[in-house]
Amino acid sequence: MITAGLTGNIGSGKTLVSSIFSFLGIPVYHADTESKRFLDDEHVKQNISKLFGPKVLAPENTIDRKALASVVFNDPVALSKLNAILHPLVKEDFRQWAQRQRSCYVIHEAAIIIESGFRNEFGKIIHVSCPAETAIIRVMERDKVSREEVLRRMKFQMEDEKKAALSDFVIRNDGSELLIPQVLAIHQELLKGCS
């Protein structure tokens, strides 16, 4: 089975592209969603509260995700420490999930595959590319946040062009090409690798 990493910077359209792969019958693992699930794990909560203190805990003794985000998106060291807790759990969870799938290939969707040093964990990397200004506007509208907040999140991501250069396939989501034909072309290429 081929494992393909689907990546792209914030606001690039990864979720839309992953939904097209899902429609084609390809299993998609959403790493960001799964990592949030781990925040409910008692052991993870203890490690996070030890690292960042009570300010990241909500009254119900759960992780206050907004408070945690405000800490890690302003401090690269804090983000690195959080990733050191969550990434191994997500990596193992994906491995087990992939073994249960009965498909020619599977998709692992995550924003920071390359930045996290996981490039070599996948047979192929698919990058969703779009201009930074387009992404900023999309995220501001989607998340109802300021331009400054989007730029703060973006500073932890590699430049779009660099990610594209390190990827096997690049999907342009800038309005210059239709998305579905691009995804179908990649789908056909990946199916060839399974036969």
CA distances from 153 to 48, 55, 124, 158, 171 (A): 20, 20, 26, 11, 22
Partner residues linked to 63 by β-bridges = 57
Per-position b or e across 62-94, b if 16+ CB within 10 A of its CB: ebbeeebeebbbeeeeebebbbebbbebbeebb
Residues in the chain: 195
Separation of alpha carbons 123 and 45, rounded Å? 33
Q: What would the pLDDT profile of 51-78 be if each residue is shown by its tens digit?
A: 998 889 888 888 998 889 888 877 888 9
Q: Span 47-51, mean pLDDT? A: 92
Q: What is the mean pLDDT of the chain?
A: 92
Q: Span 162-177, mean pLDDT? A: 94
Q: Span 23-28, mean pLDDT? A: 97
Burial class (CB in 10 A: 0-12, 13-18, 19+), 118: buried
Which domains are present in the chain? Answer: 1-27+106-195 (3.40.50.300), 34-100 (3.40.50.300)
pLDDT at 122 over 90: yes
3-state secondary structure of 44: helix
Overall pTM > 0.95: no
pLDDT at 193 over 90: no
Q: What are phi and psi of 193, to 5 degrees?
A: -70, -15
pLDDT at 15 over 80: yes
Q: What would the pLDDT profile of 135-158 be if each residue is shown by its tens digit?
A: 999 999 999 999 998 998 888 889
Q: Span 10-17, mean pLDDT? A: 94
Strands of 105-109's sheet, edge to edge?
A: 28-30, 105-109, 2-7, 124-129, 169-172
pLDDT at 195 over 80: no
Query: Residues 6 or more apart from 34 whose CB is under 8 A from it?
Result: 90, 93, 94
- Residue 58's pLDDT is 86
- Residue 155's pLDDT is 84
